[in-house]
Each structure stands twice: as C-alpha cells, then as structure tokens.
Structure 1
Amino acid sequence: MTVWDRPEPPSRPAPLDRERIVAAAIALADEGGLEAVSLRKVAARLDAGPMRLYGYISTKQELFDLMVDEVHAEILPEEQPGDWREALRSHAHRTRMATLRHHWFADLLGGRPALGPNALAVTEAQLAALDGLADLDTVVRAAETISSYVIGAIRREIAGLRAERATGLSEHDWQRAFGPHVSRMLATGRFPMLAKFVHDGTDTDAATSFATGLEWVLDAVAAKLSRPSP
C-alpha cells in the first residue's frame, strides 16, 4: 500500500498532518538539500516527537515521494493549451522554474515514474497534448524524448549552480581563474574545434540555452509526428 492509499491517523495530541510534514521537509531541503532532510529534523521543525511522524510516513523514501508530488503541483498547468507544442513547451519551462526554486528536485527527476496524484496528472497532461497525433507508441516515445532533454538540461544547470555555491566562484570568475590554463592548452593546436568554440562561439545564458535546445527537440518530434506510419 502506498502512502497515498494509507489513511492518516487522528491529528492529536497536537495538530499534525502530511501536508505540514511535507512542507517542513521541503523547507529543509530548500535550505540544505536532500541530505538535510530526516524524519528527526522534520519532527524538530514541527516541534513534534519523531515517533509521531511514523504514523503518517513509514520511511524516508515515502517522504521524498510526497515532496516530489508536492513540487509536481507547481508544474501542473492551470489549463491545457490547445497546441501540443505550447503545452509541452510550457511543461518544460514550468519544470525548470520549479527546479530552480527547489534544487534538490533535480536529484529525484527521472528513474522510476512518480506515482503521486499531482505527478500522474502532469504525465496525463503531457500525453493528452500528443493524443491523436500519431500511434500510441510514437506518442509515448515523443514524450520520453522531450522529457529526457528537459531532465538532462535541468540537471546540468543545477550542477553548475551547485558548483558556484561550493566554490564561491561565479561562472565569470571561474572562467577568469582557469582562463590561462585553457589558453595554454588551446595554443598547443591539439584542440582546434575547442579553440574555435572559445574564440568565436556565442556565449548564451542558461535560460536561452534551455529554450533553444527545447525548440530543436520539439522540431524533431514534430517531424516524427508528421511522418506517415509505415
């Protein structure tokens, strides 16, 4: 039985419910990452005994599942756009913005499907946007392709932000600090394409890079959807 199927115990002697528990856990994760979350720390934030939480949540994994589903509520669109590209574009950007608010969410993206009601509603909206545009297998592969890009791009961006926080160096500061080493390596002539990229490439911010890559993926999916079935 999943945590969503299991009823909550009576809220006594002090008010407590899964909603408050999850909110406290998300606050801890926002402050210090998933490693900052434990049932003991959540209980302390709620001024409750740790054993009381086990009436609502059996394991730390269940707590993570509930946290993930709560963030999916931020991703779920208020209304479904009529155009499939706009629907999936909106989903991608909403996922990115939710992850920028909750960096720990990147660590729990991908893998086995999330099964909470909000996560299932998000998946339903993605598939519904593509419904009728191709056979079911093609629709599922299209959704998976877009999702793979979104997850990969978001994880890369969050990794960069974590590196900045860990080192105290912004991207500009890091480039300046390691610039002399890169220049020496490029001067050897062993990396002509890298040299061309460094000297002539266009530097774009994370939001622009994400949006551009997403449009390329949507173009590729559109081409596949418009191709007649064999």
Structure 2
Amino acid sequence: MVAQKFVVDLNKPLVFQVGHLGEDYDEWVHQPIISKEGPRFFQSGFLELFTRTAWWVIPIVWVPVASWFISNSAKAGLPSHHISLLVFLGIFVWTLAEYTLHRFLFHVQTKTYWANTFHYLLHGCHHKHPMDSFRLVFPPAAASILALPIWNLVKLMCTRSTAPAVFGGILLGYVMYDCTHYYLHHGQPKSELPKGLKKYHLNHHYRLQNYGFGITSPLWDKVFGTVPPPQTKGMPNVDKLQ
C-alpha cells in the first residue's frame, strides 16, 4: 500500500504543517505562489507578530548599532582613514558572508520534520511566497542570532581596536543587502544596473534556485561558478516578471 502524500492546507497556519512534507518539502517550497498576500505562520497572534518585519526597520535598528561599533574603534585611537578602510573591508567581507549563508545555509536541503520547519522559517517561506513584503527582510531578533558568531569570529581574527570597525562595516553591508533585496522584489528600477540585478535575482527565484546566490552583486557567483546559465527554451521568462 502506497502512503498518501501530505498536502499542505494554505488556509491554515503553515509552520507546523511543512515538516510533514518530508522529502517532498524541497520541491514544494520551490513552487512559488506569486501573491502579495502573505500566509499565516502561527495560530498564536503573539508568535505571528514576530514573523512580520517592515523593510525600514532594518536601517533604523542596525545603522545605529553599526555606528556604535565603528565609534569604538575611533575611541581606541585609530585614525579616521584607517577606520574608513576597515569599514570598507567589513562591507566586502559581508558580500562573501551573504553568498556563503545564502548558498550553504539558506539552501540546505532538508527532509525531516524539524529541519523542514526550521528551513521554512529561515528562508523557505521567502521562496514559497517571494512577494510577501513583511517576510522578506530578517527580523532583528533572528539577525542577532546570526550576527553573534560573526562578531566572535571577527574578534578572533582582528585586534581589539580594529574589530569593531570591521564588524560595523559588516553590519552596514548587511543593511545594504536587506534593503537591496527588498527593492529587487518590490521596486521598479529604471536604470540598467538595478534592472540587471533584479533580473539576476528573479532568475534565482523562478528559474534556477541552485544558481545566483549573490543579491547585492554577482561577484562571488562568478568566483565559485554559480552564475545562472543562459535561458533556454521551456524555462520561465523572468523578463515578464519584472
């Protein structure tokens, strides 16, 4: 007797359903529902509140935090031109972190109940509902959890005076990433550079999810060979989705 496949009821809270998909989860989560109406995650209104974040919360929360870290390097006596270089280094480091997290954590394949559930909360929900504007940027609490090990790594690799400026740059890079990511989904760019970035990202969502992991830049996709191949017959035309 063949076991009946689990069917997700989109009219009910999703988070505790998706784990039951098992090995079918990866296929299900990469069949996007293109609607600005976001799904309900939890039955609890209190928990639901923490799953929704407006894009403008990101710079309001993290720019002051980044500025505080950078100021600590200034208080340690570093000259301003050294601090500027360290901040730019941090932004550059973030571009690699952005690529690495997106490729190896956000797109890890899962099949157990709790792994599917965790992945859906982390990134799967964005691929299933890519136009949900309140589930597009990272809630500050979740971002803090990811930021802590990065800060510890920076402290390990830098001196006491340089670490805050580098980490501040990483945080500024993150802010640029999340705001850019939001714009690529909901903005209507007119100039060539942002139009190209938007098309590049839509390729990742609607054509080839295992390519195009860079959001703010395709640099690391070029380095590691994950630039999406040219569009071929039978693939979705992402130009129509812009």
TM-score band w.r.t. shorter chain:
0.3 to 0.5
TM-score, scaled to structure 1: 0.35
TM-score, scaled to structure 2: 0.34
Select the structure that is richer in helix. 1
